[in-house]
Amino acid sequence: MTGYTLVALGDSTTAGTPGFQSPLEAPPEGTGDIRSQYAYWLMQMHPDWRVLNRGVNGERSDQIRARFRRDAVALAPDAVILIAGVNDVYQGQAPETVTHELEAMYELARRATPQGIPVVAGSILPYNTATSVEIARMRAVNDWIRAYAAAHPHVTACDTRAAVAAPDDPDRLETSPDGLHPTPDGYRRMALALVPVLERVLARRA
C-alpha cells in the first residue's frame, strides 16, 4: 500500500491536545510535541501514508460538520478518520444530537465522489471527570457508531476508546496529563488500533 493520503478529522483528541496544536490551530505546520497526535504515529507506522491532522480543540460535532467539505472532501483523501462527539456530551447534548451530525458527515463522504470516500469512525474517548450520565451518553453514541458501520459498508468502526482506556476501567484514560486527553503513548495506542482498520479499508480501494 503506497501513496495514500488520509485526513484525520475531529476535535482535541485528533488535534493532539494538550501536547500539540494542529496545523489548523497553529498554521502552517502545528506546534508542540509532534508525538502528541495519532496522525504522527500513523505515519511512523506507515511511512508511505500522508496523514493530515485536521483536529480542532473544543469543537462539537456540528462545528466539525460545518468544515467537513473544506477540511476533508476538498483534499480528496483516500480515507477520512473521524472522531467527534465528546464535546457535545461534555456540553450536555443528547446522543441523538451527535449521531445526527455523524450520519450527515458519513453521507457527505459517501456522496463526495462516484466511489465515495471511506470513513473510519473512531469511538469517543473517555475522560476522567465524566459523570455517569455523560458516560452513558458516550456509550450510546459509540454503540450507534458500531451499529451504523455494521450496516453501511462505506463506514468502518474502530474502538479508539478501548485503545486508551485503563485496563481496569473502560471509562477512564489509562494515562493522561490533564484527566481529559491522552498522553503521547495514548495517541500511539490510538494509532495502533487504527492501523489494521485503515489497512483493510485502503486495500478495498487498491
pLDDT score recorded for residue 1: 43
> Could you tell me the CATH superfamily of domain 4-205?
SGNH hydrolase (3.40.50.1110)
Contact 138, 94 (CB under 8 A): no
32 has pLDDT over 50: yes
Q: Quick one: what percent of the chain has pLDDT higher than 90?
A: 96
Cα gap 32→106, rounded to integer Å? 31
Distances (CA, A) of 7 to 48, 69, 114: 14, 12, 19
User: Which residue ranges make up each domain of the chain?
Assistant: 4-205
Residue-level pLDDT at 205: 82
Whether residue 206 is predicted with pLDDT greater than 90 in this model: the reply is no
Asked whether residue 2 carries a pLDDT value surpassing 70, the answer given is: no
How confident is the prediction for the chain on average, in pLDDT?
97
Cβ neighbourhood burial of 92 (10 Å; 0-12, 13-18, 19+): exposed
